[in-house]
């Protein structure tokens, strides 16, 4: 008498994401059932596996990506006369259905009869599909990422994030897998015993996004990047919370935005006294206008511009970095040596500052005056980005 198993499970993730995880040997290891002696021959995959409650055996596997189906046979164990398994993925409105069908027959000397082995296989297949679903969904990817970070396995992150993934935190952000790995590497170096606890999580219906509230505990044993420069190791145990929003696509993280309680962290590290002395964003903008543009003191820009500063308003041919801004100041002052600014309105909200100004001076013997609007994004008390526009009908040039 032959055995038969037919199980199904729906993952709240796109078809492509589930298929990628289901056919990725690295993901199988992350799900708790690693393979050994993997080889690929003529479009077939062969490997050894030791599943719970089953003797070690070999598997030959053939995948059809177009049809999203897999056929495999198990062999190499005296307990099975034969075993054939079909696996498929199908897109549904609510996600992706995984289905596994197995037909087999045990040998007389097998420890389990057909019915007993069928129940063991049923549990194992459902467990494997549940692990696949978790890894394909955003929540599972986040859990896998933190497991890798806390274990120091930063190379694993490259399999969890998309190549162009973006990572933003309260202290800044960027895009690309190299940026992601570098940020978490610094995190690991600063807090080698870092541990996290997910306090709450809300997942999207499709499973491709998750919002989490996370509590962290760690010992500060490595240098940190602070708002006023490096913070040497203090040896203090610190605790903080973070609100994270993570999005996934095709089984990889594409964006991670983390807003952590930076003030609480700085208080525990004894940094709030310096923080209290940090000038407001409006004061920094006024300083740039007065000292750099009016007085020509370009060295001021070294103090007030954040690393990686970008200006999105510049003359043709002038770069948008700090060097480009120096060029703009020099050009404008050469054309209008007596340049002055009057701030009409200014608003500061969070890390953004908006300033409406009048610029005026003498150009080619004629008096010119025009209005400007500047929008600036601050980062640790310095200007990180700048956008602006001028009333060109009044004779604006440059800035």
Would you call 24 helix, strand, or coil by DSSP?
coil
| pLDDT score for 52 | 58
The angle at the Cα of 318, spanning 317 to 324, to the nearest 5 degrees, equals 165
Question: What is d(CA 133, CA 19) in angstroms, rounded to the nearest whole number?
Answer: 10
Q: How far is CA 71 from the centre of its chain?
A: 35
Residue ranges of the chain with pLDDT lower than 50? Answer: 395-399
Given a contact cutoff of 8 angstroms between Cβ atoms, the answer to whether 71 and 84 are in contact is: yes
Quickly list H helices, the chain. Answer: 15-22, 25-30, 114-136, 138-151, 157-160, 177-190, 262-268, 272-276, 281-287, 299-304, 322-335
Q: What is the DSSP string of 228-275?
A: TEEE-----EEEEEEEEEEEEETTEEEEEEEEE-HHHHHHHTT-HHHH
- CA dihedral for 304, 222, 195, 205, sign (positive or negative): positive
Q: Which residues pair with 176 in a beta bridge?
A: none
Given a contact cutoff of 8 angstroms between Cβ atoms, the answer to whether 199 and 214 are in contact is: yes
Q: How far is CA 352 from the centre of its chain?
A: 23
- Domains of the chain in sequence order: 3-135 (3.30.530.20), 139-275 (3.10.450.50), 281-394 (3.10.450.50)
| pLDDT score for 331 | 93
Query: By C-alpha distance, which of 150, 135, 161, 117 is closest to 12?
Result: 135
Question: What is d(CA 210, CA 143) in angstroms, rounded to the nearest whole number?
Answer: 11
| pLDDT score for 398 | 41
Given a contact cutoff of 8 angstroms between Cβ atoms, the answer to whether 395 and 372 are in contact is: no
Q: Which residues pair with 214 in a beta bridge?
A: 198, 242
Q: Helices 114-136 and 138-151 meet at what angle, rounded to 10?
A: 80
Return the residue matching tokens 């989490």. 212
Question: What is d(CA 141, CA 351) in angstroms, rounded to the nearest whole number?
Answer: 30
Given a contact cutoff of 8 angstroms between Cβ atoms, the answer to whether 129 and 7 are in contact is: yes
Question: What is d(CA 42, CA 270) in angstroms, rounded to the nearest whole number?
Answer: 62
| pLDDT score for 249 | 84
| pLDDT score for 399 | 41
Residue 256 to residues 82, 98, 142, 174, 225, Cα–Cα distance (Å): 46, 27, 9, 10, 20
Question: What is d(CA 164, CA 236) in angstroms, rounded to the nearest whole number?
Answer: 35
Question: What is d(CA 374, CA 354) in angstroms, rounded to the nearest whole number?
Answer: 6
Residue 365 DSSP code: T
Residue 187 DSSP code: H
Element spanning 193, H or E: none
Q: How far is CA 372 from the centre of its chain?
A: 36
- Label residues 128-157 b or e (16+ Cβ within 10 Å = b): bbebbbbbbbbbbbbbbbbebbbeeebebb
| pLDDT score for 31 | 57
Q: Which two tokens stand for residue 59?
A: 């598997």
pTM of the model: 0.56
Return the residue matching tokens 């610094």. 186
Residue 301 to residues 1, 50, 84, 307, 327, Cα–Cα distance (Å): 83, 63, 70, 11, 12
Q: Rg (Cα) of the chain, in Å, rounded?
A: 30
What length is written for the chain?
399
Residues 110-126: pLDDT tens digits? 878 888 889 988 998 99
Question: What is d(CA 328, CA 320) in angstroms, rounded to the nearest whole number?
Answer: 10
Question: What is d(CA 328, CA 342) in angstroms, rounded to the nearest whole number?
Answer: 19
| pLDDT score for 27 | 67
| pLDDT score for 216 | 96
């Amino acid at each position: 008498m032959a055995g038969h198993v037919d199980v199904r499970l729906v993952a709240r993730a796109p078809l492509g994401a589930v298929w990628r995880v289901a056919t990725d040997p690295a993901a199988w290891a992350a799900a708790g059932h690693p393979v050994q002696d993997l080889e690929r021959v003529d479009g077939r995959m062969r490997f050894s596996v030791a599943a719970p409650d089953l003797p070690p055996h070999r598997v030959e596997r053939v995948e059809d990506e177009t049809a999203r189906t897999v056929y495999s046979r198990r062999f190499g164990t005296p307990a099975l006369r034969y075993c054939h398994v079909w696996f498929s993925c199908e897109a549904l409105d609510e996600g992706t259905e995984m289905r596994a069908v197995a037909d087999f027959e045990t040998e007389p000397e097998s420890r389990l009869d057909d019915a007993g082995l069928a129940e063991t296989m049923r549990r194992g297949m459902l467990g494997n599909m549940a692990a696949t679903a978790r890894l394909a969904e955003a929540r599972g990817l986040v859990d896998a990422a933190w497991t890798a970070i806390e274990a120091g396995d930063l190379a694993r992150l490259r399999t969890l994030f998309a190549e162009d993934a973006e990572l933003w935190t309260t202290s800044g952000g960027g895009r690309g897998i190299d940026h992601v790995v570098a940020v978490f590497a610094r995190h690991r170096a600063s807090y080698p015993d870092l541990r996290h606890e997910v306090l709450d999580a809300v997942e999207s219906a499709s499973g491709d996004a998750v919002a989490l509230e996370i509590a962290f505990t760690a010992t500060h044993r490595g240098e940190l990047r602070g708002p006023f420069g490096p913070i040497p190791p203090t040896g203090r145990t610190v605790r903080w919370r973070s609100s994270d929003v993570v999005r996934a696509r095709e089984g990889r993280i594409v964006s991670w935005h983390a807003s952590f309680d930076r003030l609480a962290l700085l208080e525990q590290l004894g940094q709030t006294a310096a923080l209290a002395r940090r000038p407001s964003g409006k004061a920094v903008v006024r300083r740039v206008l007065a000292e750099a543009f009016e007085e020509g003191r370009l060295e001021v820009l070294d103090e007030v511009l954040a690393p990686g500063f970008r200006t999105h308003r510049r003359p043709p041919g002038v770069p948008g970095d700090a060097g480009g801004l120096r060029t703009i100041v020099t050009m404008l002052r050469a054309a209008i040596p007596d340049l002055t600014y009057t701030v009409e309105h200014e608003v500061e909200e969070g890390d953004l500052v908006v300033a409406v100004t009048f610029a005026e001076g003498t150009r080619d013997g004629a008096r010119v005056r025009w209005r400007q609007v500047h929008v600036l994004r601050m980062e640790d008390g310095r200007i990180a980005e700048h956008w602006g526009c001028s009333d060109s009908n009044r004779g604006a040039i440059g800035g």
